[in-house]
Amino acid sequence: MEAYLAKLDSKVDDNTLPLSEGKSRNRRGNAPHFDLRSHLYRITGVDFTQIHGLDASSVYSIVTEVGLDPNAFPSVKRFTNWLALCPNNRITGGKVKSSKTGKSKAELPMLFVLLQCH
């Protein structure tokens, strides 16, 4: 995984934009044995781990599911629909019969639910 990440294009110059100090966190058992945070910073150009609740593994999951192209989803509405986080209201006669969210093949909705709990 590290070799693949090293091949991806860099959006920042490592010499001019130093990575800020990360939050001190205990290393998880399933965390990679290399510096994933600096690779993600180099690839995306943004240190997403500065957002409360996001660690390098969570950011990696989001980037692999969504990608790096911000134009992939023209609006927030389309993005939440793709995630299947929008309620699918079934209305008949003015009454809501069901408002379940749809099923998604992506693993990202569950990650967002888990991150919300932190």
The tens place of each residue's pLDDT in the chain, 118 residues long, gives 878 787 877 777 766 555 666 555 556 667 778 888 888 888 888 888 888 888 888 888 888 888 888 788 899 888 877 777 777 777 888 888 877 766 766 677 777 767 766 5
pLDDT of residue 17: 53
pLDDT recorded at residue 38: 84
Is this model's pTM higher than 0.75 or not? no
Angle at 20 between CA 15 and CA 26, to 5 degrees: 130
Instruction: Give the whole-angstrom CA distance, residue 100 versus residue 102.
Output: 6
- pLDDT of 4: 78
Domains of the chain, by residue range, sit at: 1-14+34-72, 74-118
Cβ neighbours around 39 below 10 Å, total: 20
Output the pLDDT for position 19: 60
Nearest to 110 by CA among 78, 77, 85: 85
Cβ count within 10 A of residue 95 = 7
- Identify the pLDDT of residue 105: 67
Whole-number pLDDT of residue 102: 66
Please give the span between the terminal C-alpha atoms of the chain, in angstroms, as a whole number: 27
Half-sphere exposure of 38 (CA within 13 A, CB side): 12
- C-alpha distances (whole Å) from 76 to each of 37, 72, 86 are 26, 11, 11
